[in-house]
Structure 1
């Protein structure tokens, strides 16, 4: 059985984007500019951020129960995973930029269309469209981050990438906390604002985003100092991609993908239900709950950048991530015992910020570890590998989202958080035997 698949020349708009590929490995301001485009595209694609701050206002309007909302969240999230897995090899074959540009534009239109939603069916349709697009964009953007960053610098690159999912939540929560009172808590106002922002971003991305040539994508780059040699090697590469089964059949890749999803169960909960949880349990008004949630995302962003720099300098992904695992395990027992207590807004900001920091420490180095594991299998399979992670992430997170309020209704929020804590511990076990050094910096 052949281990490579030839790349065919595409026509139409996909072919036009392929003809915009660059043959010079990005460094300096070119690298920074391309990463910025990936980050802002990722902000648009992560539609959950646009929805979460207004969920406490949206559910009564749509006459949706928490349980039914949880099932909608779960079902549409699973769709994202299926789309990513089915189209995973296309991200390697045709490059990433077409999927990113198409996805950001459609998502911007979908965010605008939320203002016309008047019933549950309309809400389900819009959310389904957003979920399909997220399944396209997330693996494409993660593949682009790998393409634009050498191994020395990759954890920082992926830390910046998280400005997409994290930044979307921070931006939407911050804007909602600031503007909802001015619009008398009218939830439609947020979709006019976020839709305008998303549309502007999608136009900028379409004009300036680029892909690496297939030859460059097939290289493993340790540091930017190797750029000239990498460009020369790329000229002699035929443009073939390896068989995606090399990734899809790897138990190590699957264990890393599933393990980090279990670690991030509490993160997914905060993404979808964070402001709603703060309003329900601690009785904060909607604008205040959104404001408190924004500090979680801000702290998470800061931690991802700092741990990314440290991880790149040490080149020790596993020990850096394990620090986050241990810290998050300790914090979760404290977080569970807060339920039922009266907590001031200022104190809650400190607590949610600490949670954001610890989750960032655990997640950031994992992204570099996962990308390097895929490279070691074959450097042309990044899109397929990240599609596999997207599948694992969205299917498991979707099931968790659908069952969240069923579990909460049976054993309370503390029972759900104990399940999340077990997931964190399981990821720690996976990390113990994953590939890579613990304490000695690799050459």
Structure 2
């Protein structure tokens, strides 16, 4: 017997119905990312628990690994028992864990609560990706994944905006933030429970069978995957973007801590600056993605965005320890997120197209290789960045991130694709 909240579709949704269900799936992704966000209150936690940045790095690294293990099990269980059967409990229980987080009064307590939250949340994250994929087969795997990333982007904006507006109302205490996050998450969970639906197993298998029929000759076997690894330009994509992602994930995890400790902003001000940068990034990726698709150009945007990011980052580093005002810092920070958006979406399209040109049936494997590389980098970042910043200051670690931008710029030279627009051939138009 299925739980009351499980609604299975026997006919594939179309038009507005499909768009709405896809939106609900992305909302579920937003919740899964929002309810475990800690970066907005990190500076306050460090002081209140008398915890060093290095200790926090260790706690985060272990909890991320725990979440990674859970993600694997969650995906397997969702294939067997259904997406929603697993997703809804993981979202609601993790949301409730925020109330448990508010009671933490020691580093040990924080460690166990974070491991518990990320273990539960890990399963939900993997299921939201599968659910988005279920409702967007015609968009293609890479575009569906890109749409799914609106969940983390929206979560980062929501968390920073709420913290920036409400921290002063509660004397900059972090415990009320955990309670607010729990309440908001549960309210959003109610919307998901009320509206979410999923294709039945039979419908999902039928849709996937239709897609796979177009690539019947390209089954995933070890030999073909090894063939994928023989192409240097795909390694340039994976390793180059992993280096680029050092800056992105540094800001995602430590942006508020950097703004507070290196620039002297309050936690509320730092969260408002972060929210501004994130929303500008979200708007930029839409505009640049549309322009890049219309011109069918990727590399010029990748290079221009990376150069812009590197220049603004270098200037950002020079401001550390100075007397730059709030508006000045906010403008520079927004510029960083704008240029990162210029580079990111065209790179996603370029990687997808380059992998597709090697073998259309192995695009998922290529994206999986990239995802694995980035997750390994995040664990290393959590361990190393906190050590470097604790000893030498955040400017030293941001120099490492700047080098990462340079490595990505060099790797872009190996990407396939044109540097300037030309009249597309009819067969290219059909393929795209």
TM-score, reference length from structure 2: 0.81
TM superposition shift of 1:353: 0.9
**3-state secondary structure, aligned to 2:168:** coil
Q: Out of 311-320 and 415-424, give the one that drifted further.
A: 311-320
Q: Aligned match of 2:208 in 217, 222, 226? A: 217
Q: Aligned match of 1:396 in 360, 369, 377? A: 377
* Unmatched 5+ stretches in structure 2: none
Please list the CA deviations of residues 235-284 of structure 1 after superposition, one character each: whole Å capped at 9, or x if unmatched: x99xx984588558742666544432321211211111111111111111
Change (3 A) 1:263 1:89: farther
TM superposition shift of 1:153: 9.0
Q: Out of 299-308 and 199-208, give the one that drifted further.
A: 199-208
1:278 counterpart residue number: 259
Relative contact order, CA 8 A, sep 6+: which one is greater? 1
2:244 counterpart residue number: 263
1:330 counterpart residue number: 311
Partners of 1:97 and 1:209 within 8 A in 2: yes
TM superposition shift of 1:69: 0.9
Would you say how many aligned residue pairs link Structure 1 and Structure 2?
A: 414
> CA–CA distance in 2 between the matches of 1:128 and 1:294?
26
Is 2:408 the counterpart of 1:427? yes
Change (3 A) 1:325 1:91: farther
1:202 counterpart residue number: 189
> CA–CA distance in 2 between the matches of 1:280 and 1:124?
23
TM superposition shift of 1:114: 1.1
Change (3 A) 1:399 1:426: same
Is 2:174 the counterpart of 1:193? no
TM superposition shift of 1:52: 1.2
TM superposition shift of 1:359: 1.3
Change (3 A) 1:388 1:200: farther
**3-state secondary structure, aligned to 2:171:** coil
Q: Out of 128-137 and 37-46, give the one that drifted further.
A: 128-137
> CA–CA distance in 1 between the matches of 2:207 and 2:176?
44
Please list the CA deviations of residues 388-434 of structure 1 after superposition, one character each: whole Å capped at 9, or x if unmatched: 44432222112112211211234432221121122222233444334
> CA–CA distance in 1 between the matches of 2:293 and 2:86?
29
Q: Aligned match of 2:331 in 350, 367, 376? A: 350
Is 2:54 the counterpart of 1:67? yes
Quote the RMSD (CA, aligned, Å). 3.7
Q: Aligned match of 1:180 in 160, 164, 167? A: 167
> CA–CA distance in 1 between the matches of 2:247 and 2:366?
24
Q: Aligned match of 1:291 in 267, 272, 296? A: 272
Partners of 1:23 and 1:213 within 8 A in 2: no
> CA–CA distance in 2 between the matches of 1:379 and 1:90?
24
* Unmatched 5+ stretches in structure 1: 1-11, 221-229
2:386 counterpart residue number: 405
Q: Aligned match of 2:295 in 299, 304, 314? A: 314
Partners of 2:26 and 2:132 within 8 A in 1: no
TM superposition shift of 1:218: 5.0
Q: Please list, as runs of the form range in 1=range in 2, the aligned pairs for 1:15-414 lying within 5 A after superposition.
A: 20-21=8-9, 23-24=11-12, 27-47=14-34, 50-84=37-71, 100-149=87-136, 160-206=147-193, 207-211=195-199, 213-217=204-208, 242-243=220-221, 250-251=228-229, 256-371=237-352, 377=359, 382=364, 387-414=368-395
Change (3 A) 1:361 1:133: farther
Change (3 A) 1:82 1:373: farther
TM-score, reference length from structure 1: 0.79
Please list the CA deviations of residues 258-315 of structure 1 after superposition, one character each: whole Å capped at 9, or x if unmatched: 4323212112111111111111111112212222221111111111221222233334
Change (3 A) 1:411 1:118: closer
Q: Out of 298-307 and 135-144, give the one that drifted further.
A: 135-144
Partners of 1:279 and 1:285 within 8 A in 2: yes
> CA–CA distance in 2 between the matches of 1:268 and 1:326?
18
> CA–CA distance in 1 between the matches of 2:410 and 2:260?
34
Q: Out of 194-203 and 95-104, give the one that drifted further.
A: 95-104
**3-state secondary structure, aligned to 2:307:** helix
Change (3 A) 1:23 1:386: farther
Please list the CA deviations of residues 58-81 of structure 1 after superposition, one character each: whole Å capped at 9, or x if unmatched: 122222111111222223223434
Partners of 1:81 and 1:391 within 8 A in 2: no
